A and B are shown apart, each in its own frame.
Chain A
Amino acid sequence: MSARIVHIASNTFREAVRDRVLYNLIVFTLLMSGAAILVGQISIEIERLVVINLGLTAVSLFGMVIAIFIGIGLVSKEIEKRTLYTVLSRPVRRWEFIVGKFFGLAGTLAVNTFFMAIGVFAALLYVSHHFQKQDGWVLVALYFIILQFLIITALTLFFSSFSSPLLSAVFAFSLFVIGSFAEDLRGFAGITHGLTRWLATGAAYLVPNFSALNVISSVAHAQPVSGHLILYNSAYALVYAAMAICGAVLVFEHRNLK
């Protein structure tokens, strides 16, 4: 069982890489280099700030776009192109297929982020000339960004299991935006009444909590991230991704492939 999941995951990874997804790294490198050089000439005090803010925001956004664009096709493209038929006629369980696809895309994003992280630290080194202890927190911010990717990947996989690529992209992107304001939504739900309160509270707890996973500005200001936060964020991201994957499995298990 696990062997099949690994095979599906590595096949998904290979597909993504061959589909030139890693070319985005070129754009990213250009962006980071340009920014580093520009910022070094503009001001003295805030280069570190700008490099970290820009670098981490770019990692986050690029990764989101990749996650959504590849994720929406993970299942629906395979159905549309009928590559799925020859896979499912083999001793592969449908749930193994979903789980394998998840790990494949998550792995692709992790590798992509790894290379981008090198880019960010290179730019940081260029503007600060040496690493400082606070730079360690940048790693935590990157880790949180990877957790965000896990959530978004699981969500697009869920949507892809029953919806068209376009709709899946719209849903996933909307959840990303709303999730970035999840804490505000929960606050808002707390002051409403009646039916609005029920709906708002329900939505506020179901929406992925991206706001807690975004520590970019505090890390840019060299603020530490509490160990508690790291622990609970990790647990939350894993649980949420698992939730979306369960949803995907349940939908896919009962889907007629016309």
Chain B
Amino acid sequence: MRASRQVTLVFSLLLVACVAASVLLLRRLDQIRTGATLEEVLYISSPKALKKMSLGYDGLLADIYWTRAVQYFGGKHHDGAQKFDLLAPLLEITTTLDPQLLVAYEYGANFLAPQPPNGGGVPERAIELEEFGIRNNPNEWRLYYNEGFIRYMEVKDYAGAADAFARGARVPNAHPFLAVLAGRMAEHAGDRQMAGMMWSTTYQTTKDKTVRANAAAHLRALQVDEAVTNLEALTARYQQQTGRYPSSFSELQAAGMLRGTPVDPVGHTYKLMPDGRVEVRVPDDLPFIQKGTPPGYVAPVAPKFLPAD
């Protein structure tokens, strides 16, 4: 029995040592290979062939590629990357394997089309993705919406966008905004109201957390742009009336031009600058704003998404 106990002891210690060593080696291997598995996506020249090879387990494989796509984008976005080479192939493979995975098309519209660092910067491929989705799911209004969204936001193809929204509006159970957007495109293309309607639609109807947070950030930015434009109009009027720019909101209130103290969507008051401009206090909290930033301000490379409200 003594020999047996010796053997047990030796091999138990060896086992523990091996477990520890294997964990350490795994961490090192993961470091060496960051992204290597993902890069193999580039070698899959034919997603259709992959679908055939998956022998009917394409649903599961689609889920795996979808998870990889989410992690890929999330990781790169977090690091403020300028290139998202693998996002398009990942989404294309995901949707080839499972054409009904609607959330993948949503990602295409929201994160593949926009320019870096907010997206993959390939709107044409994103449009192709949506068209593929439409061919396979002709009764999903969301896909027409996605296509219209990309055409409007990134490609500035307002006629094409209107057409996509109109097609989508004809689908049963379509969101009522689609008809509205199609109808208004001719007059209001390019203005803030249209953008606001679209981002609201996205915000209200998406089920994905990341997409919603992105939409919320855009909506806040639109709010800021609107507010800053209005406030700067007020300060200009004040200057005309009194010969100088207001230095505080109470002066504007005293002049009867303003009721209450204007507050930006993240809860800070706006700043009145001596030259009549209006600025936000913490520009980093408000990505995507086009007005109200201090001169020379450079947005941080990784835009900060606050929780959607």
Give A residues with C-beta under 8 Å from B.
Answer: 93-95, 181, 183-184, 186-188, 191, 205-206, 209, 211-212, 217-218, 220-221, 226, 228-229, 232-233, 235-236, 239-240, 242-243, 246-247, 249-250, 253-254
Q: Are A209 and B29 touching (Cβ within 8 A)?
A: yes
Closest Cβ of chain A to B100, distance in Å, is 21
Q: Mark contacts of B14-42 with chain A using CB atoms, 8 A cut-off: 1 yes-contact digit, 0 otherwise.
A: 11001101110110111011001100100
Q: Is B186 close to A, CB under 8 A?
A: no
Tell whether B261 is near chain A: CB-to-CB under 8 Å.
Answer: no
Contact yes or no, A229 B43, CB < 8 A: no
Binary per-residue interface labels of chain B (192-212) against chain A in the complex, 1 for a CB within 8 Å, 0 otherwise: 000000000000000000000
Sample of 20 A–B contacts (CB below 8 Å):
A184-B37, A187-B67, A187-B71, A205-B22, A205-B23, A206-B19, A209-B29, A221-B43, A228-B32, A232-B28, A235-B21, A236-B29, A239-B25, A242-B14, A243-B18, A243-B19, A246-B11, A246-B15, A249-B7, A254-B4
Residues of chain B lying within 8 A (CB to CB) of residue A221: 43
Contacts of A246 in B (CB 8 A): 11-12, 14-15, 18
Q: Establish whether residues B30 and A95, one from each chain, have CB atoms under 8 Å apart when the complex forms.
A: no
**B8 in the interface (beta carbon within 8 A):** yes
Q: A191-B71, A205-B23 are in contact. Are A186 and B43 (CB under 8 A)?
A: no
Task: Report if A239-B21 is in contact (Cβ < 8 Å); known contacts: A226-B32, A250-B15.
Answer: yes
Residues in B with CB closer than 8 Å to A240 are: 18, 22
Contact partners of A95 in chain B: CB under 8 A = 7, 11
Q: Does B76 contact A (CB under 8 A)?
A: no
Interface pair B4/A253, CB less than 8 Å apart: yes
User: Are A232's CB and B25's CB within 8 A?
Assistant: yes
Pair B14/A93 contact, Cβ less than 8 Å: no
> Of A184, A191, A218, A232, which one neighbours B68 at CB under 8 angstroms?
A184
Q: How far is the CB of B177 from chain A (nearest CB, A)?
A: 32
Question: Distance in Å from the Cβ of B29 to the closest Cβ of chain A?
Answer: 5
Which residue of A181, A206, A221, A239 has the most chain B CB atoms within 10 A of its CB atom? Answer: A239
Residues of A within 8 A of B21 (CB): 235, 239
Enumerate chain B residues within 8 angstroms of A250, measured Cβ to Cβ: 8, 11-12, 15
Taking the nearest CB of chain B, how far is it from the CB of A132, in angstroms?
A: 18
Number of A-B contacts (CB under 8 A): 83
Complex CA distance for A229 and B28, rounded to whole angstroms = 9
A23 to B129, CA, bound (A): 48
Q: How far is the CA of A186 from the CA of B33 in the complex (A)?
A: 13
Give A82 to B12 CA distance when docked, in angstroms. Answer: 28
> Does B64 lie at the interface of the complex (its beta carbon under 8 Å from any beta carbon of A)?
yes
- Tell me how far the C-beta of A253 lies from the nearest C-beta in chain B, rounded to whole angstroms: 6
Complex CA gap A218/B4 in Å reads: 47
- Compute how far the CA of A228 lies from the CA of B64 in the bound complex, rounded to whole angstroms: 27
Residue of A nearest to B71 (CB): A187
A149 to chain B, nearest CB (A): 17
**Chain B neighbourhood of A212, CB < 8 A:** 29, 33
Closest B-chain residue to A228, C-beta based? Answer: B32
- For window 25-67 of B, CB contacts with A under 8 Å fall at 25-26, 28-30, 32-33, 36-37, 40, 43-44, 64, 67
Neighbouring B residues of A191 by C-beta, 8 Å? 71
